[in-house]
Structure 1
Amino acid sequence: MNKKLSWREYLYVGSMLFGLFFGAGNLIFPVHMGQEAGSAIFAANLGFLITGIGLPFLGVIAIGISKSNGVFDLANRINRPYALIFTSLLYLTIGPFFALPRLATTSFEIGLAPFISSEQQPVFLAVFSALFFLTAWFFSRKPTKILNYVGKFLNPIFLILLGILLLLAFIRPLGSVASAPIGEAYQSQAFFKGFTEGYNTLDALASLAFGIIIVTTIRGMGVEEPNAIAKDTIKSGAVSVLLMGIIYTLLSYMGAMSIGTFALSDNGGIALAQIANHYLGNWGSLLLALIIIVACLKTAIGLVTAFSETFAELFPKAGYSFYIVLASVLPCLFANVGLTNIIQFSIPVLMFLYPLAITLMLLVIAGPLFKQHTSVYRITTYITLIAAFLDALNSSPAFIKETSLVTAILEIAEKYLPFFSIGMGWILPALIGFILGLMWSKIQPKQLPIK
């Protein structure tokens, strides 16, 4: 008989998923947005929530209704070579090549660097990153225990620590939201500016990457029937995004109120440090250090686990134990040397991956409308692939972007692709691909649908 999860178990799985999603960037971006948006924060926050929690929830829904184990199963609807390349690129980008080293560096710079002289920081960063990834490796050794580590332990600690700061901010506000000045970027289209800011969280990609952890966790709780796993995945995801939406909103309003006392900061990390220090002095700095380090650590555990489980399935010769070492050692090195270059090269990859991830989610969810015909998946993806590549070229480093060939290609794209200048030139091609795919599926009605 198939087990049914209790409301408490849904809460634990939702807490785990929230903990995996909510890293340092999720703290920093809404606070900075609040400072910039000022009294226009309602519209800005609404736009931010659509992409910040809406797209991740789409990813969770896609994993759930497809009854798949993760992103490779979803991408395999196009074909196996595409699925291997797309899955590998996605996990390498949000894993050891970009997101993981950024977690260590961010937690150090915001949490510990203020207490250390600039001359000593390189040495302390090396020691900190080694300890950080050693801890992530230790907790990633047993993926079946991640519910306990993150959902029942680290995430509640994080919420309690963050709750102290938020409570102080709303009991004794630093200023009035209604009178907060509106930054130039938010004066005319606050909603759309907030909408694009939500991309920075990377959670749309992470939602696909963490799919394997959700499914594995729910199975480990005794749920075996595919339909039940699908429903439990979506219900747990709903708990997670609801909690994320509440925290995002509180953080963005806290940022807007802080403008009443502090000048606009360069980033949300500086703003958080100022707010924490204002309310609690040196204890506030210590509190923020704990908040940031716990936030980054729980996300790092999730990324190391998801990366290693997926690569152990795709390339099983090495094994899970090898991949958790790889996913811990590589980001430890990148956190100390060449992170700026890694970030520089990762942005084009993100611009390439995001359109493909979003269209894949939407196609899976809309699948019943076109009876899951392979041609719709393939044609939509292939045409989106071209546009995504152009978006990637447009955000590539100068030594690539400024070559004569690339410049000529980008000039044509700028002229004929709507929204290309804001990095969304893929929207119209994706829609055209979807329509062409539908037409082709009607011409070949005997094509076997995806099961």
Structure 2
Amino acid sequence: MNNLSKKDLVLVSLMLFSLFFGAGNLIFPPFLGQSAGSSTWITILGFFITSVGFPILGVVAVAKSSGLHKLAGRVHPVFATVFTILIYLSIGPGLGIPRAGSLPFEMAVRPFLPERFISHELALFIYTFLFFSVAYWLSLTPSKLVDRMGKILTPALLVLISTIFVASLFNPIGSYSKATGNYVDSPFISGFLDGYMTMDTIAALNFGIVISLVIKSKGIKEENDVVKNSVKAGMIAGGLLIVIYSMLAHLGACSGSTFEKTENGAQTLANVMLHLFGNGGAVLLAILFTLACLTTCVGLITSCSQYFVTLNSKISYKTFVRVLSLSSMTLANMGLTKILKVSVPVLDAIYPVAIVLILLAMFDKLFKENQLVYRASIAFTSFVSIIYALSNTALNIPFLTKLVSWLPFYDKGLGWILPATFGIFLGLVLKSFKEKVYKLKLAKQRI
């Protein structure tokens, strides 16, 4: 068997879509549309690169490399261990999973919950307890994720979003307003950077192995066939993401002329829902956020648990699921504000490294897993991205910040592009030089 059946391909694609489509994917496009206004479609093109393109490439790269650890191992064994653990911790129990648990409550439940009825702390605890109980149950049997997510959760999510969009056609919200902030002068780059906040490129490095295992469970055994089917599923999931993001960005852009500018995309969506459906819109919004976050949360718990089992096989998969669910619920009760405060610098530090690693994997035929190329490009990228991340925190090192601030696009958060390119070039030069030296040695031995 070389290919998934059409039915299985659709289900795997829907599962991959639901793994990616979390709360961030739901709130950033509307906010982007509201802020970009008339420049929405230029901005959304940049957004597509980092929120759709690189994540799909990430899934394929991990499938081609037989796992994130092996891919990162092309740089160095120590880097592979540190980077892989950092990725799984940040996208998992340290940041991604707690954010997925607390965000739907903060954005879609708390605003409509009377303070006199129940305290915020108790309401958050009850909500996260129920949320993570369901996530725990779904994560216990990863072999059933395709059916549960592909047949039930994802279709429900798509129907809800499509219903909102169709309703907006019959009951127009407003018209596109003028672009504001950074979207006036650099809409494309702003959209590119907005894509970081979905965390999907990092998540793809986790989900790649989950998709590979699901495809193998369907009878596809050859690695080339697994990669080929991963590409097909990725293309379908990517197409769905583009359509949904376009709908959400349009809704946000239309709201710009009707409502005052909001602080985030959740508030933008809340305005849209109330305009279209009245008070019932609050209930629909809560369901929408919960479904989006639940599917992503389950994918993160599953992928992280599967990875941690490889680090310590004495602890069972189910035990890791329990630990991750409980620890994530605990952190989620710290509140969304604290979680988001940590997320931005972490993403600034590791997102560029993830992008470069994915690109190296996709064009590996040119490098043939040569460590000089991988090490040089990742080293330069890491140096600049870490300094940039620290510059926005209390750990800022003025001397180092000044040292790299001259780089092109540094002020836009893209200062790593030139160093990464230079690292690849330097690695290729060193590779060529090493090969010539080796050939000279062989020639001398023959003489």
2:149 and 2:295 in contact (8 A); partners too: yes
Equivalent in the alignment of 1:243: 240
Out of 411, 425, 430, the position equivalent to 1:435 is 425
Q: Which amino acid aligns with 2:328?
A: P
2:19 and 2:296 in contact (8 A); partners too: yes
Equivalent in the alignment of 2:174: 175
Equivalent in the alignment of 1:53: 52
1:67 and 1:227 in contact (8 A); partners too: no
Q: What is the aligned-residue identity percentage? A: 38
Q: Which amino acid aligns with 2:142?
A: P
Does residue 43 of the first structure (1) align with residue 34 of the second (2)? no
1:351 and 1:395 in contact (8 A); partners too: no
Equivalent in the alignment of 2:409: 419
Return the offset for 1:67.
4.5
* Pair 1:384–1:181, CA change in 2 (3 A): closer
Superposed CA deviations along residues 218-276 of structure 1, whole A, max 9, x for unmatched, are 01111101110010001100000100000001110111111232121111111111111
Q: Which amino acid aligns with 2:15?
A: M
* Pair 1:361–1:447, CA change in 2 (3 A): farther
Out of 329, 334, 353, the position equivalent to 2:350 is 353
Does residue 124 of the first structure (1) align with residue 123 of the second (2)? yes
1:441 and 1:447 in contact (8 A); partners too: no
Return the offset for 1:438.
0.5
Choose 279-288 or 380-389, whichever is displaced more.
Answer: 380-389
Q: Distance in 2 between matches of 1:446 and 1:93?
A: 42
Q: Distance in 2 between matches of 1:275 and 1:290?
A: 15
2:106 and 2:336 in contact (8 A); partners too: no
Choose 152-161 or 315-324, whichever is displaced more.
Answer: 315-324
Equivalent in the alignment of 2:28: 29
| Secondary structure, aligned partner of 1:4 | coil
| Secondary structure, aligned partner of 2:261 | coil
Does residue 105 of the first structure (1) align with residue 102 of the second (2)? yes
* Pair 1:139–1:447, CA change in 2 (3 A): farther
2:68 and 2:205 in contact (8 A); partners too: yes
Q: Which amino acid aligns with 2:92?
A: G
Superposed CA deviations along residues 264-290 of structure 1, whole A, max 9, x for unmatched, are 111111111111111111221111111
Residue segments in structure 2 that go unaligned for 5+ positions in a row: 439-447
Q: Which amino acid aligns with 2:169?
A: F
Q: TM-score, normalized by length of structure 2?
A: 0.93
Q: Distance in 2 between matches of 1:214 and 1:174?
A: 39
Return the offset for 1:362.
0.7
1:63 and 1:230 in contact (8 A); partners too: no
| Secondary structure, aligned partner of 2:399 | helix
2:29 and 2:249 in contact (8 A); partners too: yes
Q: Distance in 2 between matches of 1:393 and 1:259?
A: 34
Q: Which amino acid aligns with 1:5?
A: L
* Pair 1:447–1:150, CA change in 2 (3 A): farther
* Pair 1:237–1:163, CA change in 2 (3 A): same
Q: How does 1:76-91 map to 2 (within 5 A)?
A: 76-91=73-88
Out of 189, 202, 224, the position equivalent to 1:192 is 189
Which structure 1 residue ranges, 4+ long, deviate > 6 Å from structure 2?
A: none
| Secondary structure, aligned partner of 2:363 | helix
1:67 and 1:226 in contact (8 A); partners too: no
Equivalent in the alignment of 1:332: 329
Equivalent in the alignment of 1:273: 270
Residue segments in structure 1 that go unaligned for 5+ positions in a row: none
2:75 and 2:374 in contact (8 A); partners too: yes
Q: Distance in 2 between matches of 1:155 and 1:362?
A: 29
Choose 375-384 or 362-371, whichever is displaced more.
Answer: 375-384
Out of 399, 418, 426, the position equivalent to 1:408 is 399
Return the offset for 1:360.
0.6
Q: Distance in 1 between matches of 2:345 and 2:183?
A: 25
Equivalent in the alignment of 1:142: 141
Q: Which amino acid aligns with 1:443?
A: F
* Pair 1:446–1:152, CA change in 2 (3 A): farther
Q: Distance in 1 between matches of 2:158 and 2:336?
A: 29
Superposed CA deviations along residues 68-123 of structure 1, whole A, max 9, x for unmatched, are 1x211211111222111101101110111111111111111222213312362210
Equivalent in the alignment of 1:370: 367
Q: Tell me the matched-pair count.
A: 436
Q: How does 1:302-313 map to 2 (within 5 A)?
A: 302-313=299-310
Q: Which amino acid aligns with 2:433?
A: I
Does residue 94 of the first structure (1) align with residue 101 of the second (2)? no
Choose 86-95 or 76-85, whichever is displaced more.
Answer: 76-85
* Pair 1:315–1:81, CA change in 2 (3 A): farther
Q: How does 1:194-209 map to 2 (within 5 A)?
A: 194-209=191-206
2:104 and 2:293 in contact (8 A); partners too: yes
Equivalent in the alignment of 2:11: 12
Q: Distance in 2 between matches of 1:214 and 1:222?
A: 13
Q: Distance in 2 between matches of 1:141 and 1:377?
A: 36
1:23 and 1:295 in contact (8 A); partners too: yes
1:21 and 1:299 in contact (8 A); partners too: yes
2:373 and 2:427 in contact (8 A); partners too: yes
Equivalent in the alignment of 1:160: 159
Q: Which amino acid aligns with 1:269?
A: A
2:349 and 2:388 in contact (8 A); partners too: yes
Q: Distance in 2 between matches of 1:447 and 1:167?
A: 66
Q: Distance in 2 between matches of 1:100 and 1:375?
A: 35
Return the offset for 1:216.
0.6
Q: Distance in 1 between matches of 2:83 and 2:437?
A: 25
Equivalent in the alignment of 1:252: 249
Q: Distance in 2 between matches of 1:361 and 1:344?
A: 27
Q: Distance in 1 between matches of 2:408 and 2:189?
A: 16
* Pair 1:292–1:324, CA change in 2 (3 A): same
Q: Distance in 2 between matches of 1:48 and 1:171?
A: 28
Q: Distance in 1 between matches of 2:436 and 2:136?
A: 49
Q: TM-score, normalized by length of structure 1?
A: 0.93
Q: Which amino acid aligns with 2:249?
A: S
Q: Distance in 2 between matches of 1:378 and 1:13?
A: 34
Q: Which amino acid aligns with 2:182?
A: A
Q: How does 1:281-296 map to 2 (within 5 A)?
A: 281-296=278-293
Out of 208, 218, 222, the position equivalent to 1:221 is 218
Equivalent in the alignment of 2:391: 394
